[in-house]
Amino acid sequence: MEKRVLGSSGIEVSPLGMGCMGLTHASGDPLSDEEAASVVRSAYDMGYTFFDTAECYVGTRADGSTAFNEVAVGRGLHAIRDKVVIATKFGVKHAPDKSLIVDSSPETIRSSIEGSLKRLDTDYIDLYYQHRIDPNVEPEEVASVMKELIAEGKIRSWGISEANEEYLRRAHAVCPVAAIQNRYSMMARWNESLFETLEELSIAFVAFSPMANGFLTGAYSYKTKFEGAQDYRDGMPQYTEEGQKRAEPLIDLIQKLAEQHKATPAQISLAWMLGKKPWIIPIPGSRKQERLRENFASAQISLTGKEIQQIDELTDSLDLMVFGGHAIKD
């Protein structure tokens, strides 16, 4: 099986990772720990070796108890810990209005790493992300703490989620960054501006929301009724009548390519991304084994350079509406 590498860390992972967030957070009511752990372990059996979680991926169960994503991931991978790569994140809490509260102070990082290690039931974390940039903490200060955690053996590498070039360069100069994790899909291509910098610094691009929060699968539309307050997709701009109308030419092209390649729209969306750069690693998520299997099989589909260019040129010409992330509280 093809492997991809997390930058200069040398850590090898499967060509696609599993985004585990939706098991407990933002995609409806959370699964039980046992159900979620079973999904995670099934993904490993399919070939996934890279699993993404975060300390803030929590949900509330019907009985009022809290579902911790890291706990479920840790249970699913405990017996195969040395065979997988686990990424988690620090520095974000969700406010009731879904905005983000950021805190990357050294004290918070130290507290967060201990909490994540305990919930994941592991002695080390392979890739530890700063979940969002904290405007009150300099990148050099965050990177210095990461350097210490690597020296202590608590993490193997580190990364930054939703990084920009200046912050990335300054942090990387103190402690090499293995990967960034930014939003990226056919509908959200603004982070391609970082490609030149990533190649220069040998940093991997882990792509979250690679199918625009499920929109590019073709399985959902503006008429879809999502599962209440715990499903963050409700109200996203691509899931409005106008958003869908603007995306129709892209959806039609994806469907055409899917038919030509005997694939699904989801697989074409992922194959496009995998074909862009060898250091891009998409992390689609699902609760359903059939979707996880379908996503992983996209690594076997090769779009031609002409097909990738056709998609790029079309999306450049469209005024697409797509969710770009939750606001950060001042």
Active site residues: 57
Q: Residue 24 phi/psi, 5° resolution?
A: -130, -10
Q: Which phi-psi region, left, alpha or beta, contains residue 232 (left: φ > 0; alpha: ψ -120 to 50)? A: alpha
Q: Strands 155-161, 179-183: parallel, antiparallel or unpaired by DSSP?
A: parallel
Buried b (16+ CB within 10 A) or exposed e, 156-177: bbbbbbbbeeebbeebbebbbb
Number of residues that make up the chain = 330
Structure tokens at 86: 């686990």
Determine contact, residues 55/67, Cβ cutoff 8 Å.
Answer: no
Q: Which phi-psi region, left, alpha or beta, contains residue 162 (left: φ > 0; alpha: ψ -120 to 50)? A: left
Q: Residue 179 pairs with which residues in a beta bridge?
A: 159, 204
DSSP 3-state assignment of 300?
A: helix
Structure tokens at 195: 């490609």
Residues 6 or more apart in contact with residue 97 via CB below 8 angstroms: none
Per DSSP, the residues of 217-274 read GTS--TT----GGGBTTTT-GGGSHHHHHHHHHHHHHHHHHHHHHT--HHHHHHHHHH
Q: Residue 60 phi/psi, 5° resolution?
A: -115, 125
> Rounded to an integer, what distance in angstroms lies between the CA atom of residue 13 and that of residue 252?
32
